[in-house]
Amino acid sequence: MLKFKCLNLVYSSSATVYGTPETIPIPETSPVQPESVYGRSKGMCEDIIKDTCHAERSFNAVGLRYFNPAGAHPSGTMGEDPRGKPGNLLPLLAAIAVGRYSQDGLKVFGDDYPTHDGTCVRDYLHVMDLAKGHVLSLDALEKAEIFKNCGKTGNYRAFNLGHGKGQSVLDMIEAMRKASGYDYQYSIVGRRMGDVPDLTADPTLAERELGFIATEDLESMCRDLWRWQSSHPNGYDEPTPTTNGESSQ
Ligand SMILES: O=c1ccn([C@@H]2O[C@H](COP(=O)(O)OP(=O)(O)O[C@H]3O[C@H](CO)[C@H](O)[C@H](O)[C@H]3O)[C@@H](O)[C@H]2O)c(=O)[nH]1
């Protein structure tokens, strides 16, 4: 990167780096103590980038700790298309509602967490807000104001990208029912290894220093996800129409 004078970096980190945080909503000052392999890999990458900024003073980086990205582009033309059965909650709910998977497979992992309904709480963030956070980070890297207190540690800052509002698994099932009209049936099963009760962001720092405010709500997130999924039931694998109206596949 130095050779090509690419000195500014935005790194996609994850809220998973916080493990089971003591403070909810989670500020960036919470200890980084991931409990999953994925979270450890994100934490390690942050450390490497931070060390690089320390060693090479012309290098500037921002680590964005994503909470739970969800939704799709509002046009309905771009969305998530996981290979095989989705492991994440919202893509799975969308795939079930469109008939791609039977709802017999809808399992809620645990209802004995210390949350308002016993199911895990996450801070779901519309992908359009997430994208906005990246643009703001690139602008901030150019101005370098965010590094004014970094001193000897080098120009690295980590920010939460979240809404600051937590939703439970059951809240999300209800929100997707409203968006899609599909009446989900589910079973409660045991906890999934690696899940933590509540990951809700404190988004104050990103608002103050990057000007980041998540403006999309739960309704628009589920509506946009459903617009994408219902117009692309097979994701990007749909037959491509030819000029004479026939399918090319
Ligand atoms: O079939 C399912 C799938 C998920 N869940 C529950 O739904 C919640 C959300 O699960 P996801 O798999 O959708 O998301 P995670 O919170 O596990 O993880 C996501 O958010 C993290 C940060 O919070 C990381 O970014 C990670 O990469 C990303 O997948 C969890 O409580 C999970 O137990 C179910 O009950 N049933």
Tell me which of 192, 193, 218 to substitute to probe ligand 1's pocket, judged by most ligand atoms within 8 Å of the beta carbon: 192
Instruction: Compute the distance from residue 146 Cα to the ligand 1 centre, in Å.
Output: 31
Residue corresponding to tokens 């799975």: 92
Burial 70-84 (b: 16+ CB within 10 A, else e): bbbebebeebbbeee
248 has a pLDDT exceeding 50: no
Tell me: the pLDDT tens digits for 81-94?
999 999 999 999 99
Specify the pLDDT at position 247: 46
68 lines ligand 1 (CB under 6 A): yes
**Residue 2 pLDDT > 80, yes or no?**
yes
Q: What is the pLDDT of residue 244?
A: 53
Instruction: Decide: 161 in ligand 1 pocket, CB within 6 A.
Output: no
Q: Tell me the per-residue pLDDT of 28-38, one tens digit each, with 9 for 90 and over.
A: 999 999 999 99
What pLDDT, in 10s, does the model give residues 34-80?
Answer: 999 999 999 999 999 999 999 999 999 999 999 999 999 999 999 99
Rounded average pLDDT over 10-34: 97
Tell me the residue type at 194: G
Q: Is the pLDDT of residue 12 over 50?
A: yes
Q: At 242, is the pLDDT very low, low, confident or very high (cuts 50, 70, 90)?
A: low
CA separation, residue 101 to residues 81, 202, 234, 246, 248 (Å): 14, 35, 11, 27, 25
Confidence check: pLDDT of 249 > 50 = no
pTM for the full predicted model: 0.93
| Structural element, H or E, at residue 39 | helix 37-55
What does the pLDDT look like over 166-193, one tens digit per residue? 999 999 999 999 999 999 999 999 999 9
Question: 91 C-alpha to center of ligand 1: Å?
Answer: 10
ipTM: 0.95
Cα-based distances in Å from 22 to 17, 19, 163: 13, 9, 19
Structure tokens given for 101: 């998977």
